[in-house]
Structure 1
Amino acid sequence: MNYCKRNHCIGLVLISFMVGTYFAVRNTEKHYTFGIGASLLDNQINNDLIDQIRKQEFWMNSSKNYSFGIGASLLDNQINNDLTDQIRKQENWMNSSIPTVINITDIKYVVVYDCSKARPGACGGWSDRMSGILSTFIIAVLTKQPFLVNFDKPCILQDYLVPATFDWRYNASIFQRRNTAYHNLIDYSSNKIKSFLTGSKDINTYFSRDVNFIRMNWDFTESFRKRPNIGSEIPWLTKLTYADIYKQMFEMLFKPSPLLDQAIKEQYRRWRSRPKIACAHVRVGGNPTIPKDLKRKNKPLEILWQYFDTLNKTEYDLFIASDSEQVKDAGKKRYHGNMIDTVGKITHIDRRSKTDPNEGFLKMMLDFYTLITCDKLIITYSGFSILTAYVRQTDDGLYCWRGRDLRPCSRYTVQNIFPGEFLAPGT
Structure 2
Amino acid sequence: MAGCDMSVLKRVLLVLAGLFVFVVLLQLNILDIRVTGNFISKNQDSAIQQFEHRVWNEHLTNLSVYKGGRLLTEDNLENIKAISIEHCRCQRFLVFKCDSSSSCGGLADRQKGIVSSFLLALLTNRTFVVDMTTPCELNNFLLSNIYNWSMCTDFLKTVPKTNFIELKYVNGNTKKFLNQVKSFDFDRNWTKQVVVLRLNAYAIDGIRQHNQARTRLKWLMNITNEEAIHLVLHTLFKPNQRLLKDAVQFYDNKILGRHLVCSHIRIGKNPSIPEDSTRPRGYSNETVIFDFLEKYDDVRKYVIYIASDSEDIKRHAETRFKSYIKISRTIVHVDRLGKLKRFKKEACEGLYTALLEQSILTLCDTLLLTSSGFGTMAAYLRGTSDNLFLFHPKAQRILESNLTNIQTIFKFL
Output the TM-score relative to the length of structure 2.
Answer: 0.76
Q: How far, CA to CA, are the matches of 1:173 and 1:193 in structure 2?
A: 29
- The corresponding residue for 1:227 is 210
Q: How far, CA to CA, are the matches of 1:361 and 1:51 in structure 2?
A: 33
Q: Which has the higher helix share?
A: 2
Q: How far, CA to CA, are the matches of 2:117 and 2:153 in structure 1?
A: 21
Q: How far, CA to CA, are the matches of 1:308 and 1:105 in structure 2?
A: 51
Q: Deviations over 1:322-367 (max 9, x none)?
A: 11111111101001x3211223111111112345212211211111
CA-CA distance at 1:238 after TM superposition:
2.0
CA-CA distance at 1:213 after TM superposition:
1.0
Instruction: Report whether the alignment pairs 1:353 with 2:327.
Output: no
CA-CA distance at 1:29 after TM superposition:
4.6
Q: Deviations over 1:110-164 (max 9, x none)?
A: 11000123xx111111111111112212222222111111011111111111112
Q: Is the 2:93–2:127 contact (alpha carbons within 8 Å) kept by the matching residues of 1?
A: yes
One of 348, 366, 372 as aligned partner of 1:376 = 366
- The corresponding residue for 1:190 is 174
Identity %: 23
- The corresponding residue for 1:126 is 107
RMSD of equivalent CA atoms: 3.1
- The corresponding residue for 1:285 is 268
Instruction: Report whether the alignment pairs 1:152 with 2:144.
Output: no
Q: How far, CA to CA, are the matches of 1:260 and 1:349 in structure 2?
A: 17
Within a 5 Å distance, the mapping from 1:22-421 to structure 2 comes to 27=1, 29-31=3-5, 46=11, 95-97=72-74, 101-102=83-84, 103-117=86-100, 120-165=101-146, 168-172=150-154, 174-178=156-160, 179-194=163-178, 197-199=181-183, 201-269=184-252, 271-288=254-271, 289-298=273-282, 299-311=284-296, 312-335=298-321, 337-355=322-340, 356-403=346-393, 404-418=396-410, 420=411
Aligned length: 352
Q: Is the 2:104–2:200 contact (alpha carbons within 8 Å) kept by the matching residues of 1?
A: yes
Q: How far, CA to CA, are the matches of 1:334 and 1:280 in structure 2?
A: 15
Q: Which runs of 5+ in 2 are unaligned?
A: 25-66, 341-345
Greater CA drift, 153-162 or 346-355: 346-355
Q: Is the 2:123–2:212 contact (alpha carbons within 8 Å) kept by the matching residues of 1?
A: no
Q: Is the 1:154–1:358 contact (alpha carbons within 8 Å) kept by the matching residues of 2?
A: yes
Q: How far, CA to CA, are the matches of 1:202 and 1:147 in structure 2?
A: 19
Q: How far, CA to CA, are the matches of 1:357 and 1:265 in structure 2?
A: 24
Q: How far, CA to CA, are the matches of 2:404 and 2:142 in structure 1?
A: 26
CA-CA distance at 1:384 after TM superposition:
1.1
Q: Is the 1:271–1:340 contact (alpha carbons within 8 Å) kept by the matching residues of 2?
A: yes
CA-CA distance at 1:170 after TM superposition:
4.1
Output the TM-score relative to the length of structure 1.
Answer: 0.74
CA-CA distance at 1:51 after TM superposition:
8.9
With over 3 angstroms needed to count, the CA separation of the structure-2 counterparts of 1:114 and 1:48, relative to structure 1, is closer
Match of 1:225, SS? Answer: helix
Q: How far, CA to CA, are the matches of 2:305 and 2:382 in structure 1?
A: 15
Q: Deviations over 1:218-268 (max 9, x none)?
A: 111122233234222311222111111111111111111112223323434
- Paired residue type of 1:155: C
With over 3 angstroms needed to count, the CA separation of the structure-2 counterparts of 1:198 and 1:161, relative to structure 1, is same
Q: Deviations over 1:56-77 (max 9, x none)?
A: 899xxxxxxxxxxxxxxxxxxx
Match of 1:326, SS? Answer: helix
Q: How far, CA to CA, are the matches of 2:379 and 2:281 in structure 1?
A: 21
Q: Which runs of 5+ in 1 are unaligned?
A: 1-26, 33-41, 59-86
- Paired residue type of 1:114: K
- Paired residue type of 1:95: L
Q: Is the 1:342–1:366 contact (alpha carbons within 8 Å) kept by the matching residues of 2?
A: no
Q: Is the 2:207–2:213 contact (alpha carbons within 8 Å) kept by the matching residues of 1?
A: yes
With over 3 angstroms needed to count, the CA separation of the structure-2 counterparts of 1:123 and 1:31, relative to structure 1, is farther
